[in-house]
Structure 1
Amino acid sequence: MSTTASGPAYIPRGTKSKCSKGSSENILNLPVDHGVAYTPGLEPLLNANDHKPGEHILKYGFCAATKLPCSPVTPLAWINVNKKHILEGAPALIEQSKLTCVKGGVISIVINAGSAQNDDHNEAAADKVEAVTAATEAENPYGFKQAVKDAIDNGILPNPATMQSDYEFIEGGLSTPIFKIASLAGGFILDKKGNVYAMVDASVGYGLGLPYPVTGSVGQGYFGNADKSSEEKYRDALAGGSIGTTTGAGIQGNASIGVPSGVISGEVSFNPSIGKSFGGRYAWYLFNVNE
């Protein structure tokens, strides 16, 4: 693992990792490879979806957050990945990649100080990843990114170039029926710079909703204190976690703050429920429709 002329190095199976709350390091595992190996050793490379506890993520000794033996819970994909190089549908891991455990730890790659000698192998791995990515795109050029572009062109989704709000979102999921006590939802966000994010929401509260275990909402959001000068600044503001409160009847208002970004956001959305809820959201950047 090292930074080469072609960019950050890729992460093969067997690479050491650590958790900020764990007492010991452990290797990253990959039971089924993605078709690209790292030499020497012919160890397969990992991607952002390799985050399952017990399968990819092993235990890190004693957990300082729970005061119990480590038992990682990592439902979300790795972040800080190489989005230009795709392995079986997900970005390749690099040495800057991070993974969040819901118990409070952050899992990161242990950098090998003596890895400079592996530059040639990383260059070869980069070439192979690029070849696999090109072949995949040739076989399946009509992916999610193209579907989003088509939806924008056909007026199904808003055009970022004419968007009045800072971002718009759509989500759907499950909630406790009639008496809205808890909900869990997922969806995606499109901002006015063309960035697209996946997101998950969880909330608890009180009120009335549909007599079915479903929930959904569409809405617009506005930043109160974010730098809006570039695509990257929008990503800094939207990607990551946030906590907030939502109140309303049909048309609802939400106020939230990013953690740890500190960006304050206000949202207006339509949701077929009445009441007040408190919850959190996590969003991660996928791609930009203009690229």
Structure 2
Amino acid sequence: MPIHTCTGAQMMCMMGMAPSVFNATPKNVLTSFKPAGNIMDNKPFMNIPPFGMCQSPSNPTVAAATAAALGVLTPMPCVPMTPAPWAPGSSTLLVAGMPALNNTSTLACAWGGVIKIVNPGQFTEMIP
């Protein structure tokens, strides 16, 4: 069964070079005494900090640096671009009126990366 995700969860982007820590938007809902996440906690920097360096050739700064290096892939600082919500989220539990975020949800970055939950931040509350 999926595990409810909260502030402090560890995430990884397949195009990033370092893990990052999720920060749920404050709500009046806690899971294991930490702010609970929902699928709309997808804002770059506010909820989704950078993942170190980005390796995606779709990222304009990486593409420019790679062109300047005569075709040698040149990673550049990560700037998450996450316009869509996490998917799929919980089918039965709402947090602040939106589906709860669980450890099986993923988040797409416009630069081609997919962000996954590596550690949900707590392990006692499971959600369907």
TM-score interval, smaller chain: 0.7 to 0.9
Conserved 8 A contact 2:15-2:112 = yes
Name 2:115's counterpart in structure 1.
107
Name 1:36's counterpart in structure 2.
29
* Structure 1 residue 38, shift from structure 2 partner: 1.8
Establish whether residue 75 from structure 1 lines up as the match of residue 83 from structure 2: yes
Conserved 8 A contact 2:25-2:37 = no
Name 1:283's counterpart in structure 2.
none
Amino acid at match of 1:36: V
Amino acid at match of 2:98: A
Name 1:58's counterpart in structure 2.
49
Amino acid at match of 1:62: M
* Structure 1 residue 68, shift from structure 2 partner: 1.2
Q: Aligned to 2:125, which of 111, 119, 122?
A: 122
SS at match of 2:125: helix
Name 1:86's counterpart in structure 2.
94
Distance (whole Å) between structure 1 residues aligned to residue 119 and residue 25 of structure 2 = 22
Greater RCO structure (CA 8 Å; 6+ sep): 2
Name 1:154's counterpart in structure 2.
none
Distance (whole Å) between structure 2 residues aligned to residue 101 and residue 31 of structure 1 = 19
SS at match of 2:50: coil
Displaced runs of 4+ in structure 1, greater than 4 A?
Answer: none
Establish whether residue 18 from structure 1 lines up as the match of residue 9 from structure 2: no
Q: Percent identity?
A: 30
Conserved 8 A contact 2:25-2:35 = no
Cα-to-partner distance string for 1:164-216 (whole Å, 9 max, x where unaligned): xxxxxxxxxxxxxxxxxxxxxxxxxxxxxxxxxxxxxxxxxxxxxxxxxxxxx
Distance (whole Å) between structure 1 residues aligned to residue 24 and residue 37 of structure 2 = 7
Matched residue count: 110
Conserved 8 A contact 2:25-2:41 = no
Distance (whole Å) between structure 2 residues aligned to residue 24 and residue 15 of structure 1 = 14
* Structure 1 residue 31, shift from structure 2 partner: 4.1
Q: Cα RMSD between the aligned structures?
A: 1.9
Aligned counterparts, 1:192-271, within 5 A: none
Name 2:68's counterpart in structure 1.
none
Distance (whole Å) between structure 1 residues aligned to residue 13 and residue 116 of structure 2 = 6
Distance (whole Å) between structure 1 residues aligned to residue 91 and residue 39 of structure 2 = 9
Distance (whole Å) between structure 2 residues aligned to residue 30 and residue 83 of structure 1 = 19
Q: Judging by fraction of residues, say which structure has more helix.
A: 1
Distance (whole Å) between structure 1 residues aligned to residue 26 and residue 36 of structure 2 = 10
SS at match of 1:84: coil
Cα-to-partner distance string for 1:122-175 (whole Å, 9 max, x where unaligned): 15xx5xxxxxxxxxxxxxxxxxxxxxxxxxxxxxxxxxxxxxxxxxxxxxxxxx
What is the TM-score when the length of structure 2 is the normalising length?
0.78
What is the TM-score when the length of structure 1 is the normalising length?
0.36
